[in-house]
Amino acid sequence: MNKYTQKLIYNAPAEEWHNALPIGNGRLGAMIYGRPGNELLALNEDSIWSGGFRKRNNPKARANLDAIRSLLAEERIREAEALCEDSFYGTNEQQRHYMPLGDLNIYCLAEGYTDYCHELSLEYASDTVRYTVKGVTFTRTTFASKPDEVIVMHITADKPGAVSFCALIDGRDDYYDENRAYDEDTLLFTVTDTIPYACAITAVSEGGTCGTDANRIKCDGADSATIIIAAQTAYRTGDYIKKAISQAKAAARKPYKLLLDRHTQDYTALYGRCAIDIEGDTPKSEYTPDRLAAVREGGCDNALVTLYYNFSRYLMIAGSREGTLPLNLQGIWNHDMWPAWGCKYTININTEMNYWGAEVSALPECHTPLFDHIERMRENGRVTAREMYGCRGTVCHHNTDIWGDTAPQDKWMPATLWPMGLAWLCTHIRQHYLFTQDTDFLAEKYDTIAEVCEFFLDFLTENKAGQLVVSPSVSPENTYICENGEKGSLCQGAAMDTEILTELFNGFIEAHDILSAKGYELLHEEDVQAVKEALLRLPPIEEGKYGQIKEWAVDYDEAEPGHRHISQLFGLYPADLIDVYRTPELARAADATITRRLTHGGGHTGWSRAWIINMYARLHNGEKVQENITALLAHSTADSMLDMHPPFQIDGNFGGGAGIAEALLQSVSGIEFIPALPPAWKAGKVSHLRARGGFDVSFEWKDGAVTEAEIISLAGCPLAVRAKSVTIEGTTIAAGEDGLCHISIRKGESCKMTVQR
């Protein structure tokens, strides 16, 4: 194991929450500070939210829809926005927000400690704290087990009888009901002011004594001890107290080694599927903060880039597993009772960005919580579509919560009234199919895509040019300046809306054709034809006066030319409507768009910088990929390697990881090796990344050339490689007029080749 690419390493405890180290099993999470004498685990459970479902659809919206559209068509922006504030904002401003479980404090004597080290192993998903006090070395190993649904901390010493501690839970201010000993070895912590939940904490020891004392667990003179943390909520089960206690006690009956082995086997089965290794000089320091500091000072650390990618995969497995809720703004890690932006699902990019790397990084199972949440939103979205807009189908705006709330969130004109949230989420269904070729999955989700399309078939309206546009809407979080100097956000026909609809409609038609050809019985035949007709009437992607991609139907100036959102480039990434091969003029305009944003201070937030990395990868600009990865590490990454918006948002971690993979492998138009290779990445190796069409791809490169490659067909689809030629077992296959080398391969077959790029 290469400690420079597989471990986060520290020589001092974390002083702040965002520099603690995260563990998780998809549902349960903890941030570990690594303190020797006063250890703190900030605990989370993904379904602890502030309350139940709220009905928030504004009953005045439908009656005022035509009026607001007319005002927008006449460019009476202030009047349109005033009407929006009155009749389209939610009747309650806020959806529910995510909340912490509590803090587990572990007190022990550690005065004058030496030889301190805190490590997070990405390879085995375990956190280790090690230090020495008066000649005795203590080790704490902590992990979050998916098989046993608990968090486990194992404490050892290299001297018999040296393990003693006192542990208790708090950290919810006064917002809890019970905090007491349930029995002689288990604590019980219960809360009902939110979604009700219970946390059960128990401990067992080898030697010494271990048991409860009022609201604490005390251990004295043990050789070793194991602390078990379980939690359950009323969101998932009726008797959440009983289940939490049962899970804690069941885990405590298992030997520690068995708990560790079960966790390790479960985790490594996912994490070990693929790997990226970028060669480079050995870092001068093994400590993660030192390495980040060196990058800030202009150093190059390819192993740190590899570590960042590995960390993104680690976080995906730790924060999103089958049967859990999807990753929110902070994954599953939050310590604030009132977190920034409610720590909700912000679906005008952030939630989607969390899952950009799931498929290419061979973690399709981790993508499924997002699909499950789309289904939770469908019924609420039907009500919103009907009551607010008088439309069929289902719709959601720019945020949703644990209950799948679909009404407008916040009262902020640049973001609130944006009806594209479900449409964007449904493009993930298509991507999952393209990577996996799972037709049963596509058939299961076909009606969901159809319902979202139904909404827009009813909702789209004609502009003065006879085109179909989304109105009212916004270009997420941005503001434009009219010719008369007036500023506005509400609009008709924002470029991003049209691009999302193009992707959605194409995906619906594609799904219909695929499933029909395979004999599935389908509904929505009339809608398929209507979508085909609507697709022809959507506005095209256009260049503006600065050579950029126009953000609005009118070529307005932006109030913030360096705005963090670059929404008009949805068509470049994550979609592929703008492509260096098929639409070179638009690709040049996309490049100009990014340059304009960056020149005016864009890319200043972590997630925005991550998006730019992916955009430059699609534009095949390896120098800019390297420049922006460096900026992400230098300016938007905490010592814990977590992304700083600021404050902490996890989307930058996932977007950055996806961008690293995108620079090395693309598959939107045939499989393409190292399409945006940064100059510093002189050599390296990719093992078992996934490509669209259901392919497993491995290759090595050196000095800008692919030295060898292997592609395994997982689904039996036609294989096309973008290259001048490929040579397979002595036979050379040249590219056709489409720039692709077409290769015959059957499902389960492996194809080794040399590549002439």
Question: Model confidence over 693-715: pLDDT tens digits?
Answer: 999 999 999 999 999 999 999 99
d(CA 256, CA 233): 26
Model pLDDT for residues 444-490, shown as the tens digit of each residue: 999 999 999 999 999 999 999 999 999 999 999 999 999 888 899 99
Which of these, 247, 500, 218, lies nearest to 352 by C-alpha position? 500
Rounded Cα distance between 265 and 287, Å, is 28
CA distance linking residue 548 with residue 587, whole number of Å: 10
pLDDT exceeds 80 at position 1: no
Alpha-carbon span 628 to 612, nearest angstrom: 7
Kindly tell me if the per-residue pLDDT of 518 is higher than 70: yes
Q: Is 509 exposed, middle or buried (0-12, 13-18, 19+ CB in 10 A)?
A: middle
Q: Provide the greatest CA pair distance for the chain.
A: 83
Comparing C-alpha atoms, which of 269, 299, 323, 334 is closest to residue 123?
Answer: 269
pLDDT at 741: 98
The residue-averaged pLDDT of 281-290 equals: 97
Q: Are 148 and 195 in contact (CB under 8 A)?
A: no
What does the pLDDT read at residue 484? Answer: 86
Give the sign of the dihedral formed by CA 623, CA 629, CA 633, CA 634: positive
Answer for the pair 105, 38: CB distance below 8 angstroms, yes or no: yes
Q: And the tokens for 89?
A: 């904002």
For the residues 212-241, what does the mean pLDDT come to? 97
Percent of the chain residues past pLDDT 90, beyond the cut: 97
DSSP state of 670: B
Torsion over CA of 742, 743, 747 and 751, rounded to 10 degrees? -130
How much is the average pLDDT of 20-43? Answer: 98
The residue whose two tokens read 């976080």 is: 315
Please provide the average confidence, as pLDDT, over all residues in the chain: 97
Spatial distance between the Cα atoms of 622 and 576, rounded to a whole number of angstroms: 18
Per-residue pLDDT of 375-409, as tens digits, reads 999 999 999 999 999 999 999 999 999 999 999 99
For residue 123, what is the DSSP state?
T
Q: Looking at residue 174, what is its pLDDT? A: 86
Q: What is the DSSP letter of 754?
A: E
Taking CA atoms, 558 is separated from 73, 390, 562, in Å, by 19, 32, 9
Residue by residue, DSSP assigns 436-488 as H--HHHHHHHHHHHHHHHHHHHHH-EE-TTS-EE--SB-STT--EE-TTS-EE
Give the mean pLDDT of 165-180.
93
Q: If we measure between CA atoms, which residue out of 265, 29, 253 comes closest to residue 151?
A: 29
Q: For residue 567, what is the DSSP state?
A: G
Which residue in 388, 549, 571, 536 sits closest to 472, CA to CA? 388
Q: Is the pLDDT of residue 682 over 70?
A: yes
Nearest alpha carbon to residue 490 among 82, 92, 87, 58 = 82
How far is residue 675's CA from residue 680's CA, in Å, rounded to a whole number? 14
pTM above 0.85, yes or no: yes
Residue 532 pLDDT class (50, 70, 90 cuts): very high
Amino acid identity, position 642: L
Structure tokens at 665: 């492998």
At 133-143, the pLDDT tens digits run 999 999 999 99
In whole angstroms, what is the distance from residue 306 CA to residue 295 CA?
14
Question: How high is the pLDDT of residue 483?
Answer: 86
Cα angle at 230 between 224 and 234, to 5 degrees? 170
Q: In Å, what is the CA distance from 304 to each residue of 550, 626, 633?
A: 37, 13, 9
Among 333, 423, 322, 332, which residue's Cα sits nearest to residue 381? 423
Total residue length of the chain? 757
- Judged against a pLDDT cut of 80, whether residue 720 lies above it is answered with yes
Distance (Å, whole) CA 131 – CA 140: 9
Mean pLDDT of 336-360: 98
d(CA 610, CA 257): 39
Q: 254 CB contacts (<8 Å, ≥6 apart)?
A: 148
**pLDDT value at residue 549:** 98
**Which residue is associated with the tokens 């050809």?**
517
pLDDT for 448 equals 98
For helices 622-635 and 606-618, what crossing angle results, to 10°? 170
Determine the pLDDT at residue 163.
98
What are the beta bridge partners of residue 492? none
359 CB-contact burial (10 Å; exposed 0-12 / middle 13-18 / buried 19+): buried
Among residues of the chain, what percentage have pLDDT more than 70?
100
- The order of strands in the sheet holding 487-488 is 487-488, 480-481, 557-558
Distance CA 635, CA 605 (A): 9
CB contact set of 11 (below 8 Å; sequence gap of 6+): 116, 117, 118, 287
Query: Structure tokens of 462?
Result: 């004609």
- Rounded Cα–Cα distance for residues 249 and 230 (Å): 9
Mapped onto helix, strand or coil, the DSSP state of residue 238 is: coil
Strands ordered across the beta sheet of 102-107: 21-24, 28-32, 38-45, 102-107, 163-170, 216-222, 209-213
